[in-house]
Amino acid sequence: MSKPYGVAVIGAGYWGPNLARNFRGSSAWDLVAVCDTDAVRAQRVVGPRSTVEVETDVHRLLARSDIDAVAIATPAATHAPIALAALAAGKHVVVEKPLAPTSVDASKMVRAARDAELILMIDHTYCYTPAVTYIRDVIASGLLGRLLYVESTRINLGLIQPDVDVLWDLAPHDLSILDFILPGGLTPTRVSATGSDPLGAGRACVGHLTLSLPGGGDAHINVNWLSPTKIRQMVIGGSHRTLVWDDLDPLRRVSVHDRGVDLGSPDADERHASAVSYRLGDITVPALSEKEALGSMVEEFAAAIRGDRPSRTDGIAGLRVLSVLEAADHSMAANGSPIRPRFVDTTTGDLE
């Protein structure tokens, strides 16, 4: 077993404690420090009898020689400057979503990591769940056939965020999943978005996002802070089979349905409808493990460093998601008109 990498978590707020717990539980990592401007908050994460140190100054933290990598869990506006400073200090970096406030900042981070030959990774946590990993493998195997549509619903009675609308708060989960499961990643040629603010909160509380899929289909994402019912569901329709993912159903989290519509080639004299037939076959429910996704994420971070390879959710993946979110902003400003996202060079991370 190789020597564990030294890691520090920067940010002891909402997500930082989860990261610290999983780094602590991994044999690939040695959690050296937790850094936060509030020393009391950082100490609560570390615990009273821990050998993990508390730091309150990021620059002092990055100067330490016993730290190989950092995990950034600070407000989104600070992601880029902290990550760029860490990369300049020779540290590998994993950042919670979003990668940066803008795609321009994210592109700078991708280039800095590439030039320094360091790992830059985005914590797209859902991509490390057994369910989403299974979905990616099923699509890659061709079992579903050609993808016809994706319908994703992520609604609940949620906290209205003070700095972002519902699309920026919830849709990154669905976009990161699409980027992970679609062959070639998230590369829509058009994005349309609408949002409403029925409460007068000053930002959209209900949002709908549509983006093109390779082969002519569409993906629809419905997000909502105002629903009394919590739904986390994605339906992926293929020409052969349809997959349903219900993240709130532990007994049937994923099901594959051999059901659908078959369209034949009618003669010119026949009615079009006569060529339509409905296929009603079996439903398959795979057995999936319940391993914590963050545990798999920190293991992948170490494996990418050790193997000197891009992680499964690298900086370019985070940049693609940002590009779509920015296109959604432009579309909403244009009353839902389709917008072409900025092209992301998957080799360099450069923007069109």
Distance CA 74, CA 38 (A): 12
- The answer on pLDDT for 350 being more than 90 is no
Report pLDDT for 349: 80
- pLDDT for residue 156 is more than 70: yes
Sign of torsion over alpha carbons 12, 100, 338, 237: negative
Q: 278: domain CATH number? A: 3.30.360.10
Task: Calculate mean pLDDT across residues 157-181.
Answer: 92
Please state the separation of Cα 218 from the chain's center in Å: 19
Q: How confident is the model at residue 266 (pLDDT cuts 50, 70, 90)?
A: low
Task: Quote the percentage of the chain above a pLDDT of 70.
Answer: 94
Q: Are 294 and 125 in contact (CB under 8 A)?
A: yes
Task: Between 271 and 60, name the one with better pLDDT.
Answer: 60
Which residue range(s) make up the domain with 285? 127-291+328-332
Distance of alpha carbon 9 from alpha carbon 151, whole angstroms: 35
- Percent of the chain past pLDDT 90, that is, above it, reads 83
In a domain, 16, yes or no: yes
Pair (161, 91) in one structural domain:
no
With bands split at pLDDT 50, 70 and 90, how would you rate the model's confidence at 263?
low
d(CA 321, CA 97): 10
Q: What is the pLDDT of residues 308-341, one digit of tens each?
A: 999 999 999 999 999 999 999 999 999 999 999 9
- CA distance linking residue 72 with residue 105, whole number of Å: 15
Residues 277 and 265 in one domain: yes
The answer on 230 and 194 residing in a single domain is: yes
For residue 273, tell me if it sits in a domain. yes
For the entire predicted model, the pTM comes to: 0.91
**Average pLDDT over every residue of 172-177:** 97
Question: In the predicted model, is pLDDT for residue 49 greater than 90?
Answer: no
Distances from the Cα of 20 to the Cα of 155, 298, 318, angstroms: 28, 10, 22
Q: What is the pLDDT of residue 92?
A: 98
135, pLDDT greater than 70: yes
- State the pLDDT confidence band at 20, using cuts at 50, 70 and 90: very high
Mind giving me the DSSP string for 183-240? TT-S--S-EEEEEE-TT--SS-SEEEEEEE-TTS-EEEEEEESEEEEEEEEEEEEESS
d(CA 245, CA 147): 15
Q: Quote the pLDDT of residue 272.
A: 54
**Residues 216-234: what's their mean pLDDT?**
96
Cα distance from N-terminal residue to C-terminal residue, the chain: 43
341 falls within a domain: no
Q: What is the predicted pLDDT for the residue at 269?
A: 52
Look at residue 350 and tell me if it is in a domain: no
Indicate whether 75 and 157 sit together in one domain.
no
